[in-house]
Amino acid sequence: MNLFSFRTLRVFILLVLFAFAALYTQGQMLRTTNWIEPLEVVIFPINGDQSEKTSRYISTLHHIDFRDIDDFMSKYAKHYQLHLRKPTRTRLGREIREIPPPPPRPQDSMITKALWSMKLRYWAWQNTPDDDSNYTRARVYIIYHQGKPEKALPHSLGLQKGLIGVVHAFAEEKQAGQNNMIIAHELLHTVGASDKYNSDGTPVFPDGFASPDRKPLYPQRKAEIMAGRIAIDPHRAAIPKSLSYVVVGEKTAKEIGWQE
């Protein structure tokens, strides 16, 4: 009987936590997609490989290194006639020493994924505590690594629940433009944008194409931000060097509340 009561209590506590998280998330979604005020974006760097080179790179970072993100958002806010001309304000936060919990595998259950989401949000709360502005503050954790030939970085992610992004990036100056593109991609996930690429990484037509009406269709000259790649031909796509080669497509604009 005691065991049954304990299990019932655990289930009740979990349900209460899920309900609270759902209500809080709903409030965040409403505040961040009405675009009445700018979304505060805080970049928290993390030394992902614990190397001295990565540590030195992080020490050189400055707010201006992420200015391209705000310029990109402002450019397309104007394009879609959003009343808010500067929809994001990005700044550099302090370095975080602890690595976030690893994401679940694609084959994991929905319960496992939901628990991981809560675990990540709890980790974020521990390392970068919430405050009154968190309803309109997105936290993006950049895990920097040294580049290695033929070694791909772990997958980055962005969660609308909690306004949290986790980005894996190279600790190299020449990669800064591409890093900012990935940050912008994950940032838009936090405000409702969906991925627009196939399982092989190629952009989905037409929503993942920067110019779906272009003739000839290939090669595209730019990438749609949520596709993250420039379509070269039906089977090949290239990662853009910077946000200068990226656009916000109409479907993405609708998903994030920039267009009806």
- pLDDT tens readout for residues 121-171: 889 989 987 665 566 789 999 999 998 766 789 999 999 878 999 999 999
Domain termination site, one of 157, 192, 227: 192
At residue 30 the predicted structure's pLDDT band, cuts being 50, 70 and 90, is low
Q: Which range marks the domain in which residue 60 is found? A: 2-192
H/E element holding 112?
A: helix 110-127
Contacts of 254 by beta carbon, 8 Å cutoff, 6+ apart: 260
Q: What is the mean pLDDT of residues 67-93?
A: 97
- Please report the pLDDT score of residue 185 as a whole number: 98
- Please report the pLDDT score of residue 18 as a whole number: 61
Q: What is the mean pLDDT of residues 171-186?
A: 97
- Please report the pLDDT score of residue 251 as a whole number: 98
Do both 88 and 202 map to the same domain?
no
Q: What is the mean pLDDT of residues 212-229?
A: 98
Number of domains in the chain: 2
Domain termination site, one of 164, 192, 220: 192
- Please report the pLDDT score of residue 25 as a whole number: 58
Closest CA to 183 of 115, 88, 50, 59: 88
| pTM score, whole prediction | 0.88
Does residue 1 register a pLDDT over 50?
Answer: no
Mean confidence (pLDDT) of the chain: 90
At residue 14 the predicted structure's pLDDT band, cuts being 50, 70 and 90, is low
- Please report the pLDDT score of residue 165 as a whole number: 97
Do both 23 and 100 map to the same domain?
yes
Do both 71 and 96 map to the same domain?
yes
In angstroms, rounded to a whole number, what is the distance separating the alpha carbons of residues 19 and 196?
Answer: 30
- Please report the pLDDT score of residue 168 as a whole number: 97
In angstroms, rounded to a whole number, what is the distance separating the alpha carbons of residues 166 and 180?
Answer: 13
The overall longest dimension of the chain from CA atoms, in Å, is: 72
CA 190 vs. chain centroid, Å, equals: 6
- Residue 179 · residue 169 · CB < 8 Å: yes
Q: Hey, which residues does 203 pair with through a beta bridge? A: 197
Domain termination site, one of 174, 192, 210: 192
